A and B are shown apart, each in its own frame.
Chain A
Amino acid sequence: MSAAVVVRGVDKIFDTKSGHVTALSAVDLDVAPGEFVSLIGPSGCGKSTLMRLIADLETPTAGTVEVFGTSAHQARVDQRYGIAFQQAGLLPWRTVSANIALPLELSGMARAEVRQRVDELIALVGLGDFGDRFPDQLSGGMQQRVAIARALAKKPQLLLMDEPFGALDEMTREYMQTELLRIAAETGAAVVFVTHSIPEAVYLSDRVVVMSPRPGRIAEVVPMSLGSTGSRADDLREDASFFEMITAVREALHGGTHATAPRGVENR
């Protein structure tokens, strides 16, 4: 099976009123099928831009992005990935079920089939009795679970997530992280996860891609030797190996020295 994501020599330059801004420079990245990769770095390092290039929401200025052996554009048209943003982005006039059903309806799936798939997804993200609720009746964490269910609707083997837990409180956030690992293990999907929280990146990932700004590039790729992501549980957060990995990512972020924390990166 071909790699989930292959990024080769990608530059991204935005034309703004104040001139050219180089968001990404000479980026190479590989994500294997089923692998969990986090992109971390200070504000302006291009981590969201890199994810959006994979999603074909932006096009690279130079270089190539391949998803499952095809172009990023073809992968988007073929619905090879699911996506979730920091905002859940649910349609307020649709129920939870109807929100999850949206991508299925758009692709013309039969009504009975849609219903069955939505029921599976609601069970997968643990929203059992909430299918008939409207988004404004749900907490932020539950809204994000709906968004994740929607992203998984078409059984993609790649999940792209842009700080999906960034707006949640710490308790809910840790719970959602464990839930995400369970869901990723059950679906076998590869995940590209953008975050600015070091513990979040460490807890979730097989590999943490540390990026640095001006111009955005990959500074270091830190493999997490913490066992398979599917087997991780909350007790890992208190394990010595967890803190070692946090230190490794911190040092990579600081360029190998013990400098003060870069702006925009959380150390909690």
Chain B
Amino acid sequence: MTTETRASTLTRTPGPSRPRTRPPVGPLGRTASGAERAIAPVVLGGAVIGIWQLLAGSGLVEAYLLPSPAAIIAEIIEFWPSMLSAAGITGLNAFVGLVAGSLLGVVAALVASTSRLLDGMLAPIVAALAVIPIVALAPVLNTMFGADSRTGRQLIASLAAFVPVFITTARGLRQTQPVHRELMTSFAATPWQVMRTITLPTAVPYTFTGIRLASSLAVISALVAEYFGGPRGGLGGLISTSAASSAYPRAWAYVVAAIALGLAFYLVTLALERWASRRR
């Protein structure tokens, strides 16, 4: 008997695709179809907005506390160009911060992974960085870089992004399997070859999880940093200006834009994470 025929009878022949996961089962034991799963949150969201609209229209809640969804949508339409440019400004600050912070996080984690001493030196500094209040940092940086500079905000966003990327990458760099390390020893691989061949590829999915966590933090930080002076035009600045001039529906409209911006960052980084982890 040849090897080929035996191989096909004695070992299962895997299909081209990976094993499919079954669709989730609902509380009643039914399996939810893809359409049902997509429609359910839309229906819930629609219901909440409907109730909100009724509540705001009933006069039970003052309009300055909770403007109606219709009023907010009207503002979004009216100020659409301003929404886009504001989201662009804040988004760019958040993006620059996310990229710079992630790069720094990866480099610092690599440095920390080279020795226990460096790890011990860096870990408490990162823990301290993680809890610096933006309210303290933003005015200082604005003064340092001048009132018309965006550098301060980008630095704040990069600081916020740095922390989770550093932590997850540092953890990922310690996840190499003993059997992989022993194989590399048996291949007489150099430290650089070990790093390139097993340590870095093992850490990559961890890093991308960190980047996903960092993406939301970068957007929030870039936005909040705008409350403390510096050039106008970003979403955070416009939210505070609108609220200060009692244009509450417009303030809420910018909040909606901020949520959309944050979600966009999250979804893109989630897709990156899925891509990086596809073989695990």
Answer yes or no: A262 CB below 8 A from chain B CBs: no
Interface residues of A in 111-163 (CB under 8 A from B): 126-128, 133-134, 136-139, 141-142
User: Whose C-beta in chain A lies nearest to the C-beta of B193?
Assistant: A106
- Residue A14 at the chain B interface, CB threshold 8 Å: no
**Any B CB within 8 A of the CB of A236:** no
Interface centre among A78, A81, A102, A134 (most CB of B within 10 A): A102
Q: Name the B residues within 8 Å of A134 (CB-CB).
A: 279
Given contact pairs A134-B279, A136-B18, A87 touches B11 in the complex (Cβ within 8 A)? no
**What is the 8 Å Cβ interface bit string for chain B, positions 139-175, against chain A (1 contact, 0 not)?**
0000000000000000000000000000000000000
Let me know if B183 is at the binding interface, CB within 8 A: yes
Counting CB contacts under 8 A, is B37 at the interface? no
Give the nearest-CB partner of A132 in chain B.
B16
CA distance A28 to B151 in the complex (A): 70
* Cα–Cα, bound, A81→B187 (Å): 9
- Mark contacts of B1-43 with chain A using CB atoms, 8 A cut-off: 1 yes-contact digit, 0 otherwise: 0011011001110100010000000000000000000000000
Q: Smallest distance from the beta carbon of A43 to chain B beta carbons, Å?
A: 19
**Beta-carbon contact of A55 and B186 below 8 Å:** yes
Q: Once bound together, how far apart are the Cα atoms of A138 and B14, in whole Å? A: 7
Nearest-neighbour CB distance to chain B for A3, whole angstroms, equals 20
List of B residues within 8 angstroms of A142 by Cβ: 7, 11
Whether A175 lies near B6 (C-beta < 8 A) is yes
C-alpha gap A82/B183 in the complex (Å): 9
Which of A89-97, A211-219, A237-245 forms contacts with chain B?
A: A89-97
Bound-complex Cα distance A161 to B280 (A): 26
Cα of A179 to Cα of B11 in the assembled complex, Å: 13
Chain A residues with CB under 8 Å of B6's CB are 126, 175
Annotate B171-185 by CB proximity to A: 1 below 8 A, 0 otherwise. 000000101101101
Q: How far is the CB of A232 from chain B (nearest CB, A)?
A: 16
Q: Which residues from chain A contact B186 at a C-beta distance below 8 Å?
A: 55, 57, 76, 81-83
User: Restricting to B175-233, which residues have a CB under 8 Å from any CB of A?
Assistant: 177, 179-180, 182-183, 185-189, 193, 197-198, 201
How many residues belonging to A are interface residues under a CB distance threshold of 8 Å? 34
- Minimal Cβ-Cβ distance residue in A for B184: A106
Residue from A82, A91, A103, A175 in contact with B201 in the complex, judged by beta carbons closer than 8 Å: A91
Interchain CA distance A91-B10 in the complex, whole Å: 24
Nearest CB of chain B from residue A15's CB, rounded to whole Å: 19
Q: Is the CB of B10 within 8 A of A172?
A: yes
Q: How far is the CB of A237 from chain B (nearest CB, A)?
A: 16
A147 nearest CB neighbor, chain B only: B183
Task: Tell me the nearest residue of chain A to B179, going by C-beta.
Answer: A89
Q: Which residues of B contact A92 (CB under 8 A)?
A: 279-280
Contact B198 A91 (CB under 8 A): yes
**B residues in contact with A57, CB < 8 Å:** 182, 185-186
Residues on the A chain within 8 Å of B14, using CB: 133, 137-139
Nearest-CB distance from B47 to chain A (Å)?
Answer: 42
The reply to whether A77 and B179 contact each other, CB–CB distance below 8 Å, is no
Contact B279 A136 (CB under 8 A): yes
Contact with B along A25-58 (1 / 0, CB 8 A): 0000000000000000000000000000001010
Q: Across the two chains, which residue of chain B brings its CB closest to A92?
A: B279
- Whether the pair A91, B187 counts as a contact (CB closer than 8 A) is no
17 A–B contacts from the bound complex (CB under 8 Å) = A76-B185, A81-B186, A82-B186, A83-B182, A83-B183, A83-B186, A85-B183, A89-B180, A89-B182, A89-B183, A91-B180, A106-B187, A133-B14, A137-B18, A171-B10, A175-B10, A179-B3
Contacts A79-B188, A85-B183 supplied; 12 other A-B pairs, CB < 8 Å: A57-B182, A76-B185, A78-B188, A83-B186, A103-B187, A107-B187, A127-B7, A137-B14, A138-B14, A141-B10, A142-B11, A172-B11
